[in-house]
Amino acid sequence: MALKKLKVGITYDLRDDYLKEGYSPEEIAEFDFPSTIDALEKTIQDIGYQTDRIGNIKSLVRRLAAGDRWNLVFNIAEGMYGFGREAQVPALLDAYKIPYTFSDALALSLTLHKGITKHIVRDLCIPTPDFCVLESAADLPKVKMPYPLFAKPVAEGTGKGVNPASKINSRQELDKTCRDLLKTFKQPVLLETYLPGREFTVGILGSGAEARALGAMEILLNPNAEQHAYSYENKERCEELVQYKLATDKEARRAMETALKVWQALNLKDAGRVDLRSDAAGVPNFMEVNPLAGLHPVHSDLPIICTKVGISYQELISLIIASALKRVNE
């Protein structure tokens, strides 16, 4: 099929749409700004494709019912509700046999649940901190892990639910932090052994055996930032609170190797990020994976990594689409 004739739909969740419905900024923190969609659409057009802004899953349902179809959908929709929220758009597109970018519904459902993902990673003998999942406050007395610990919602992104109280040093802090998280996010809490080492996020490009780790970016918190984690506040105000450094030493290279193993083991597609943190011995441990990484050309981690290793934003988007189209032509 000729490049110029390909019609690429774009599915996404826009922050402004949900703010108008009364959601709080933290509730919709994973969603995109208009500037991200503007940049993404222009870049896809500059590459040579036709574009069609579809929007969120409700808009997609209406468009499909009206008979609209696309050669490919560039999907960055995160969804709003349920452990399968990131999988909703891919599952619907699968039903209509419409190809799309990034991972499929199975992989997106799996990786959204950090606890289940860590079970798989640990079974593959990939380093990850010891953990347990608290389904309710009734599970708190069962926690026997030594302090310090670290708590966060089991199925959120963008640092939601992560703040200074996430690092836990006592039974009293454990009880308060976990109860607060259970009440606020209405989902289980992931409790992990706190790791004191360096924090990396590794950019991945490609699928299967062709996937490659682009680089390991170290997250360095400024003195005025919330310490101990790449928290929601730190991410939202990253320009003033965080420094990003491309790391190339032995520990960073090991982080890249671990990230690529995780990406391939989970059968993730096209592009994304893997977050790691090192233990006291300097061994990078898997923390979580983001198969729907942010794509703001300046502020999102994956494009920042690409810029640091000499890959332009247009090249990144072009490679993502090429990776997705390869599945169409197989």
Percentage of the chain beyond pLDDT 90 is 88
Average pLDDT over residues 99-117: 98
- Determine the topology of domain 196-329 in CATH: D-amino Acid Aminotransferase; Chain A, domain 1 (3.30.470)
Nearest to 236 by CA among 245, 246, 225, 227: 225
Q: Looking up tokens 């899953």, which residue turns up?
A: 57
Report whether pLDDT(34) > 60. yes
Between these two residues, 228 and 109, which has the higher pLDDT value? 109
Report whether pLDDT(250) > 70. yes
Report whether pLDDT(85) > 70. yes
Coil vs helix vs strand at 54: strand
Q: Is 295 in contact with 36 (CB distance < 8 Å)?
A: yes
List, for residues 225-248, the tens digit of each pLDDT value.
888 788 878 788 888 989 999 999
Between these two residues, 160 and 214, which has the higher pLDDT value? 214
61: pLDDT confidence band, cut at 50, 70 and 90?
very high
pLDDT for residue 69: 98
Average pLDDT over residues 209-225: 94
Torsion angle (degrees, nearest 10) of CA 194, 196, 197, 203: 30
Integer angstrom CA distances of residue 325 from 35, 178, 322:
26, 43, 5
- Determine the topology of domain 3-100 in CATH: Rossmann fold (3.40.50)
pLDDT for residue 53: 98
Which element (helix H / strand E) includes 285?
strand 284-290
Residues 6+ apart with CB under 8 A from 64: 92, 96
pLDDT for residue 25: 87
Average pLDDT over residues 258-284: 98
**Residues 217, 305: Cα–Cα separation, whole Å:** 6
pLDDT for residue 67: 98
Report whether pLDDT(309) > 60. yes
Neighbours of 17 (CB within 10 A): 17
- Determine the topology of domain 130-193 in CATH: Dna Ligase; domain 1 (3.30.1490)
3-state DSSP: the chain helix, strand, coil percent, rounded to 5?
Answer: 40, 20, 35
**Residues 195, 211: Cα–Cα separation, whole Å:** 28
User: What is the token pair recorded at 305?
Assistant: 């990594």
Q: What is the DSSP string of 129-192?
A: --EEEESSGGGGGG--PPSSEEEEETT--TTTT-SGGGEE-SHHHHHHHHHHHHHHH-S-EEEE
Which element (helix H / strand E) includes 40?
helix 34-47
Residues 6+ apart with CB under 8 A from 115: 131, 133, 154, 188, 190
Q: Is 132 in contact with 141 (CB distance < 8 Å)?
A: no
Report whether pLDDT(2) > 70. no
Average pLDDT over residues 100-113: 98
277: pLDDT confidence band, cut at 50, 70 and 90?
very high
pLDDT for residue 115: 97
Domain boundaries, the chain: 3-100, 130-193, 196-329
Query: Which 8-state DSSP code applies to residue 100?
Result: B
4: pLDDT confidence band, cut at 50, 70 and 90?
low
Average pLDDT over residues 8-19: 96
66: pLDDT confidence band, cut at 50, 70 and 90?
very high
What's the chain's average pLDDT?
A: 95
Report whether pLDDT(330) > 80. no
Average pLDDT over residues 81-95: 96
Report whether pLDDT(80) > 50. yes
Report whether pLDDT(320) > 80. yes
Max alpha carbon distance in the chain (Å)? 63
- The gap from C-alpha 144 to its chain's centroid, in whole angstroms, comes to 30
- Least confident piece of the model among 36-50, 111-125, 156-170: 156-170
